[in-house]
Amino acid sequence: ATAEMASLLDLPAPPTAVVAGDGLVLAGVLRAARQLGRRIGGDLAVVAHDDVDWADLVDPPITTTAQPLDQIAATAVRLLAERIADPDRPASVVRIPPVFVHRRSCGCAVSAGGGR
């Protein structure tokens, strides 16, 4: 991911924002930005999917979308129990939205108490 992001940042009109799909891609984005002297949250807005454990340990802290794993697990167990109790029950589709965790890497001001 580092080499790919570096090639994008080296374009004549480089991107000003990136959404990293996971922690590995996020690490590549951060490495490439550092290698090329780009400021996260200034030159390059960064948002990542899946709130990695270290998102708040880098400077600036990384804005993310966090998957509510406790809610996902509880829903999966409930649906499984319902299916076991009634095998002929129609399948259920449950959408559990991610939680937006606003930190400074997106370049937007974070209000007092913002982030997690």
Tens digit of pLDDT at every position of the chain (116 positions): 799 999 999 999 999 999 999 999 999 999 999 999 999 999 999 999 989 999 999 999 999 999 999 999 999 999 999 999 999 999 889 999 999 999 999 998 877 655 55
DSSP, collapsed to helix, strand or coil, labels residue 57 as coil
Question: Is the distance from CB of 56 to CB of 114 less than 8 angstroms?
Answer: no
For the chain, the 3-state helix, strand and coil shares in percent, each to the nearest 5, are: 35, 15, 50
- Residue 110 pLDDT: 76
Query: Looking at the whole model, is its pTM more than 0.85?
Result: no
Res 115: pLDDT: 52
